[in-house]
Amino acid sequence: MKLIEIAQRLGLKVEAGVDHLENEVRGGYAGDLLSCVMARAKTGDLWVTVQRHPNIVAVAVLVGLAGIVVTEGGNIEPATLERAEQEGIPILVSSASAFRVVGELWDLGIRGE
Amino acid sequence: MRSRGAGTRTQLTKLEELLRELRVEEVMTRRLVSVSGDFTMAQVKELLRKHRISGVPVLEGEALVGVVSIEDVTRALEQGEMGAKVRDRMSREVITVFADEPAVEAVKRFAHTKVGRLPVLDRGGKVVGILTPGDPVGRAFRVMDLRYREQEQQRWQQKGLGLEDLLGEGASLVLRFRVQGEDFAGAGKASVQAKRVLGRLGLDPGAVRRATIAAYEAEMNLIIHTRGGELTLEATPHSVVVEAVDKGPGIVDVEQALQPGFSTAPEWVCEMGFGAGMGLNNIQSCADEFEIESEVGRGTRVRAVVHLSQSGRKDRLNR
């Protein structure tokens, strides 16, 4: 499923990487420990996290993620958005908790291990 | 568009061709933000600020009835009428473009009308996106850049060029980065840069992924635990060697540091999601060869070798 469809179905706010919403989402991963994301997330996964500092962009580039969903709303540091634009990483924001976002993604057929 | 400098003529022709070839839907922003006529100007102001945009289409149901822009908001603000409804303050004469028209039509419409945005409609009249004046040309340049790179890579592949042909047998390419201790703002930059360079060399993507994840963990260790150090990635025709060297403080018990989950990172670092005690393990599991040596007071050297695909090793992180 394309990221744009997920953004629309879940009502996610696109904060960065609007040119990359055609990215194909192949699976999902949720977690806030960056090393675990590095170890377990796969290329093409959508990553659900509460982290919002600029380093999440580096993680997404290196793992080859389809995008990042930042949960529990709030403002994202401008430095994070700036880096995401540079690197072409979509950042989508939900006001819901990670639990709910993952549940909704699962309902859409997005799977993870 | 109309300037005809001799040197830029070829590029201009290419750009014009591309703007004829690309459809509006390929250069537009897919619409995610719109308002109804019931919104107040104050709500519009908030929406524009939040999404950092300069105007939005106004919809009643699915029908486009107008556009409200930052200029309309400014005027309402000056007149003290921020409580007014959008339907009374919007522009009703909306200039639009169809999604399946060539992008060049949008460029012309911007040039002739001087509007700040063009809502994009499908042939059923439904709004499917929005264009701002920079979108068509900006997107066309990106497509040109992308095609150029693809052609370049194809040229290499056709000639059967590998890193070996590029560098010559026995030579290697070394990327060397200075990493500052506690530089969380710059964290990950070296590894991301390395991934870009190694990727462009056309190396096996799975191996590049493993090498740069290892490099990232090593880079983070330098930032979290040391006064800084040096990160190098050396690409040869057969492998990528990642090495991180610092001058201290050194690891007291290396065996313990290699245990998954063991961490000495301070709490504020952990709150950012670092310091999970998985860094060295990740390096190990990404690498085909791994070495670590450390002396308290002197420093630490971590070395990870990732073999390129000739080894026949499947990329286990990228199933």
Residue range A17-75, pLDDT digits in tens: 998 998 999 999 999 999 999 999 999 999 999 999 999 999 999 999 999 999 998 78
Q: Which residue among A33, A51, A62 sits closest to B213, beta carbon to beta carbon?
A: A62
Share of chain B above pLDDT 70, in %: 88
Name the residue with tokens 């009308």: B113
What's phi and psi for B164, nearest 5 deg?
A: -60, -45
Angle (CA) B131-B133-B137 rounded to 5° is 95
Residue from A12, A26, A55 to probe the interface with B (highest B Cβ count within 10 Å)? A55
* Cβ–Cβ under 8 Å, residues A62 and B192: yes
Chain A interface, best mutation among B278, B316, B319, by max A CB count within 10 A: B278
Cα–Cα nearest to A76, from B271, B51, B211: B51
Looking at domain B6-138, which of 3.30.1490.190, 3.40.250.10, 3.40.50.300, 3.10.580.10 is its CATH number? 3.10.580.10
Cα A49 from Cα A34, distance rounded (Å): 10
Strand partners, A45: A27
> Is A3-107 CATH 3.40.1390.20?
yes
What is the pLDDT confidence band of residue B182, given thresholds at 50, 70 and 90? Answer: confident
A65, amino acid identity = L
What ranges do the domains of chain A cover?
3-107
Which residue is associated with the tokens 């890193």? B163
Q: Which residues of B189-226 are buried (b: 16+ CB within 10 A; e: fewer)?
A: bbbbbbbeebeeebbbbbbbbbbbbbbbbbbbbbbbbb
The one-letter amino acid code at B158 reads: Q
Instruction: Give the C-alpha separation, B39 to B250, whole Å.
Output: 61
Is B177 in CB contact (< 8 Å) with chain A?
no
Cα B112 to the center of its chain, rounded Å: 34
Q: Answer yes or no: is pLDDT of B243 > 80.
A: yes
- Distance separating the N- and C-terminal Cα atoms of chain A: 17
Domain residue ranges in chain B? 6-138, 163-311
Residue B61's Cβ-count burial label (10 Å; 0-12, 13-18, 19+) is: exposed
Is residue B282 within 8 A of residue B274, CB to CB? The reply is no
Lowest mean pLDDT among A19-23, A52-56, A100-104, B168-172: B168-172
Which single residue is written with the structure tokens 């309402």? B76
* A4 with B30: Cβ contact below 8 A: yes
The string of pLDDT tens digits covering residues B254-283 is 999 999 889 998 888 888 888 888 899 999
pLDDT band for position B148 (50/70/90)? confident
Give the pLDDT of residue B319. Answer: 36
Residue pair B175/B233 in contact by the 8 Å Cβ criterion: yes
Is pTM beyond 0.80 here?
A: no
Alpha helical stretches, state H, chain B = 9-21, 24-27, 41-51, 70-78, 86-89, 103-113, 135-158, 163-167, 189-200, 205-225, 254-257, 267-271, 279-286
According to CATH, the topology of domain B163-311 is Heat Shock Protein 90 (3.30.565)
Q: What is the ipTM of this complex?
A: 0.82
Q: Does B191 touch chain A (CB under 8 A)?
A: yes
Distance of alpha carbon B157 from its chain centroid, rounded?
26
Whether residues B274 and A36 touch (CB distance < 8 A) is answered with no
Q: Which residues of A touch B51 (CB under 8 A)?
A: 13
| Cα–Cα distance for residue pair A25/A6, rounded to 1 Å | 9
Q: Which of helix, strand or coil describes residue B296?
A: coil
**CA–CA separation, B223 vs B59, rounded Å?**
50
User: How many C-beta atoms surround the C-beta of residue A11 within 10 A?
Assistant: 12
Q: What is the mean pLDDT of chain B?
A: 86
Are the Cβ atoms of A61 and B192 closer than 8 angstroms? yes
